[in-house]
Chain A
Amino acid sequence: MHLLSRGRARARELWERAVTGLYSMPWVMQLWARWAVQRSQRLDASAAIPFVPFSGPLAQARAALVTTAGIHLPHQPPFDMDDPEGDASYREIPGDVDLRTVVITHKYYDHRDADADPNIVFPLDHFRDLARQGVIGAVNHRHFSFMGHIEGPHLERLIQETGPEVAAKLRADRVDFAFLTPA
């Protein structure tokens, strides 16, 4: 019995690796994007896209990062990988975090490169450097991390609850612009 379940876990691991390997190919990713558009019920092409112009100067602007790459601190609860419809929750990443200590919980993409250098999905080191150089004014004292694979009822929670919650926190922090990165 034990052997059987171990075999199953191994098979699942191999399957997941094969799938994330496929999505590592840009053209597969674009096909997936097209398919995701076709099957989504939530997309309303006529809905107006919100827009506020950026008012400078950039050199005085406070920036915050928001990612859907599934990054979190080791002591924070990992994102829920058992629910096939994802997890709409988020984690606050402190601005002074050492990127070498963050972990990624996200089985829907191959994050070995991001584990080696989190800046490819969460470019905090670069933003700190831009603030030091005076290109931007400051980096916010906190950033926000989601996981990108969100479907079904969790999508509703993202739209109604957790997305607006993060937006309100950014406004409370007087953030001048947000930089968003996918996985």
Chain B
Amino acid sequence: MKTTTKITVTALLCVAALYFLIPVYWLVIAATKSTGDLYGSSGWWLFNPQLFENLKQVFTYNDGIFLRWIGNTLLYAGVGATLSTWVAAACGYALAKFRFRGRETVFNLVLGGVLVPFTALALPLYLLFSQLGLSNTVFAVLLPCLVSPFGVYLCRIYADAAVPDELLEAGRLDGAGEARIFHTVVLRMMAPALVTTFLFEFVGIWNNYFLPLVMLSDTKLYPLTLGLSLWQSTADREPVLTQLTIGGALVSVVPLMIAMVFLQRFWRGGLTEGSVKG
């Protein structure tokens, strides 16, 4: 391999890395500054760092509402992703391993569901939930997130390839019920697909902005995304919020980025299933 090629390739990769990292670097630096220094000093270097004071303010502002937002986010994304993964696994497994009338119809419905823009659903969902008196509750954000057509699609493809019929037959001969076979044998074999589905849903729910924005008016129920955008949009009236937004963004972004780095192999694994055989 020629040295010039090696240098060119590495240089290109480094330039790309800078593009992705500079905003994060700026965020880390900016989070250490006072509001005045944010405007008054160079954005590239540290200047009178006071990270801990800033973070203390983030966590104590408005009786610690930021902590509540973290809790809400974990609740919505954690519970939502867990339940929706189980729901998708059961459906995907049934579609892959049983022959029944209407099977193709159900699967086509699922495929169609993958293509529906989620924001087109949020508006009518709000109207329906508010007629039931359930808008502005935890359920309004949680329940719609339990449906994951893409998860069903992934689970079906994976179950098709990874769960052998003989094993199911053996279980049936032993007298185990279908639900028992599913929960003890099948789920374990589908573990990689379940992890991928879970992560997809987790990131999807944590990313979701439109649905909670439409549904929630009580700031105590807000997830982090909504809370921080509230701070950002009211910063012109209350300048300290600019600094709080930056500090809050740092606190919310860093754990997720670290998780991304360690979990990226699950995305690759699961996506090969989805894209190669699709």
Task: Decide if A and B are genuine partners.
Answer: no
